[in-house]
Chain A
């Protein structure tokens, strides 16, 4: 069955530290990959996406992600976290032949001053 796993439910980092949020997927077909961010009480904002081509993709707010087919992963990274990055981050996967995205359970990021 198709699935998306975000192994870390909560992550706490200090402001200015680097960040990596993990996402693994299980899909039979070539996936389309996304990271969304949800601030408290807010909707889902697209951070970045991968459809094809360069496996390292840049997004908004200084985030980047790397698609590694051999590891079925699409980890999100940021070199220096800001206090405003505190939010919940969702990895999502789509594929050809279906309209739906499948979301991971999310990782809640806390940033210490």
Chain B
């Protein structure tokens, strides 16, 4: 069964450093998403991406964040200058259609020191 994959599974970085989180969505899916889950809190929507542009973003997704689909298979989330409060599990998801089910990857646990 096709799956969303994410790399790395864990990343530790220093405050102020840039990080790039990578995702490979399910191959025939057209809509891509990033969510995050701060430890002990609920899963929160960050951004959705379709047709090479952001289709929706939350208030969390400020100028420090960016997304890109650099090639036909990868989908990335970049945090330009990490803060301590960016420490969280970041989930990538994809869906075939806008109103279709979103399938989530295993997540990248980011720790900012």
Binding site for B on A (CB under 8 A): 32, 34, 36, 42-46, 49, 51, 90, 92, 94, 96, 98-106
Query: CA separation between A32 and B48, bound complex, in Å?
Result: 17
Question: Is B104 in contact with A49, judged by CB distance below 8 angstroms?
Answer: no
Question: Is B98 in contact with A99, judged by CB distance below 8 angstroms?
Answer: yes
B97-113 contacts to A, CB under 8 A, are 98-99, 101-107
Q: How far is the CB of A103 from chain B (nearest CB, A)?
A: 4
Inter-chain contacts of B48 with A (CB < 8 A): 99-100
Of B56, B101, B106, B107, the residue contacting A98 (CB under 8 A) is B56
For B, the interface residue count at a CB cutoff of 8 angstroms equals 23
Of B42, B45, B103, the residue contacting A105 (CB under 8 A) is B42
Q: Kindly name the residue among B55, B101, B102, B106 whose own CB sees the greatest number of chain A CB atoms within 10 A.
A: B102
Of B55, B91, B99, the residue contacting A43 (CB under 8 A) is B91
Q: Is B68 an interface residue (CB 8 A)?
A: no
A-B contacts at CB below 8 angstroms, number: 51
Given contacts A43-B104, A43-B105, A43-B106, contact A104 B91 (CB under 8 A): no
Of A49, A100, A103, the residue contacting B101 (CB under 8 A) is A49
Which residue of A is nearest B105, CB measured?
A43
Inter-chain contacts of A104 with B (CB < 8 A): 42
Which residue of A is nearest B43, CB measured?
A103
Inter-chain contacts of B56 with A (CB < 8 A): 98-100
Interface 1/0 per residue, B30-41 and A, CB below 8 Å: 010101000001
Of B41, B43, B99, the residue contacting A44 (CB under 8 A) is B43
